[in-house]
């Protein structure tokens, strides 16, 4: 009799619970083999891992943070943004087709997310909610206070991608950083002693003082005044809303000797 029905007997060990000596389970295998069942399990496991990875990626996407005066002051993860909005410390900002800005608390944003595209939302057990791009804090109205980080990128920004010896403008891959006073002569790696230099001028100057190489700086290097952001290119479409508030981005890794 071919019913594709099989009996499996699973013995119980002594666990102190006094179960019956064995329990009979009947599994009806509609089609395929045990190997196919394992293949299906592996497939579902892979799908679950993919979903978890996508969720992790979405919750770690960047969100622009505005202070109470609508000035850009920080960037946080979507996970942190959701926490701030849910706690009532911030609201989510969106713009309509006429570029009017609207704010939402957690509940109104959740309701608005019902028809959002799947790639823009995270899904919970009971609802889905769209990843925010900008939030505004409800109480914080200050700008952070700190010095400009001394980085290669920031030196290029200060010197406007211009060689400080010949005055020519270059692409960044054609520029070096030069110590005006060479390090082996006591020169330090600081704002006041490091400048942009083209490869030709850098080679000509070598390990000498500018006057020793019969060269001069077009301007004296100095520490720039701090701004919270610097100009960046917005290539990711999900950050288009940022353009209304900032055309700037964080200054990067600090340089050192």
Torsion, Cα 216 219 220 222, to 10 degrees, reads: -140
The reported pLDDT for the residue numbered 13 is: 41
The residue that leads in pLDDT, 128 or 3, is 128
Flag whether the pTM goes above 0.85.
no
Name the strand (E) or helix (H) holding 75: strand 72-77
Comparing 134-138, 148-152, 236-240, the range with the smallest average pLDDT is 236-240
Comparing 12-21, 101-110, 158-167, 237-246, the range with the smallest average pLDDT is 12-21
How far lies 189's CA from each of 155, 167, 202, in Å? 11, 22, 16
| Cα–Cα distance for residue pair 187/164, rounded to 1 Å | 17
How far lies 90's CA from each of 7, 37, 68, 87, in Å? 59, 48, 9, 8
The reported pLDDT for the residue numbered 220 is: 94
Whole-number percent of the chain with pLDDT over 90: 36
Ramachandran assignment for 28, one of left (phi > 0), alpha (psi -120 to 50 degrees), beta (any other): beta
Long-range contact pairs involving 231-235 (C-beta distance under 8 Å, separation at least 24): 231/157
The reported pLDDT for the residue numbered 95 is: 83
Number of H helices, E strands in the chain: 5, 13
The residue that leads in pLDDT, 85 or 127, is 85
| Cα–Cα distance for residue pair 201/199, rounded to 1 Å | 6
Any bridge partners for residue 249, and if so which? 230
pLDDT tens digits for range 165-213: 999 999 989 999 999 999 999 999 999 999 999 999 999 999 999 999 9
Residue 53 has pLDDT above 80, yes or no: no
Residue 232 has pLDDT above 70, yes or no: no
Total Cβ atoms within 10 A of residue 64: 23
The reported pLDDT for the residue numbered 237 is: 41
Interacting residues of 54 by C-beta distance below 8 A, sequence separation 6+:
none
pLDDT category of residue 6 using cuts at 50, 70 and 90 = very low
Residue 96 has pLDDT above 70, yes or no: yes
Give the residue from 158, 222, 223, 170 showing the smallest Cα distance to 201: 170
Comparing 126-130, 210-214, 232-236, the range with the smallest average pLDDT is 232-236
Q: Are 61 and 133 in contact (CB under 8 A)?
A: no
Give the residue from 189, 181, 185 showing the smallest Cα distance to 209: 181
Residue 164 in tokens? 């400080």
| Cα–Cα distance for residue pair 180/205, rounded to 1 Å | 9
pLDDT category of residue 46 using cuts at 50, 70 and 90 = low
Mean of all residue pLDDT scores within the chain: 76
């Amino acid at each position: 009799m071919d019913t594709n029905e099989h009996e499996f007997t699973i013995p119980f060990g002594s666990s102190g619970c006094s179960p019956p000596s064995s329990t009979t389970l009947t599994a009806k295998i509609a089609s395929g083999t045990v190997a196919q069942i394992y293949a299906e399990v592996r497939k579902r496991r892979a799908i679950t891992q993919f979903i978890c990875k996508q969720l992790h990626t979405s919750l770690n996407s960047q969100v622009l943070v505005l202070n109470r005066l609508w000035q850009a002051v920080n960037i946080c993860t979507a996970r942190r943004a959701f926490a701030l909005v849910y706690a009532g410390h911030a609201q989510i900002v969106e713009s309509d087709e006429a570029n009017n800005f609207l704010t939402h608390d957690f509940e109104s944003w959740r309701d608005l997310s019902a028809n959002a595209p799947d790639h823009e939302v995270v899904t919970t057990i009971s609802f889905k909610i769209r990843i925010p791009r900008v939030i505004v804090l409800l109480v914080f109205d200050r700008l952070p206070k700190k010095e400009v980080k001394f980085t290669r990128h920031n030196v290029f920004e200060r010197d406007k991608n211009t060689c400080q010896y010949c005055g020519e403008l270059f692409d960044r891959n054609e520029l070096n950083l030069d110590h005006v006073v060479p390090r082996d002569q006591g020169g330090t790696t600081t704002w006041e002693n490091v400048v942009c230099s083209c490869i030709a001028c850098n080679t000509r100057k070598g390990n000498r003082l500018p006057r020793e190489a019969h060269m001069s700086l077009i301007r004296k290097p100095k520490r720039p005044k701090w701004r919270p952001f610097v100009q960046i290119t917005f290539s990711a479409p999900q950050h288009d809303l940022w353009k209304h508030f900032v055309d700037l981005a964080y200054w990067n890794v600090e340089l050192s000797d």
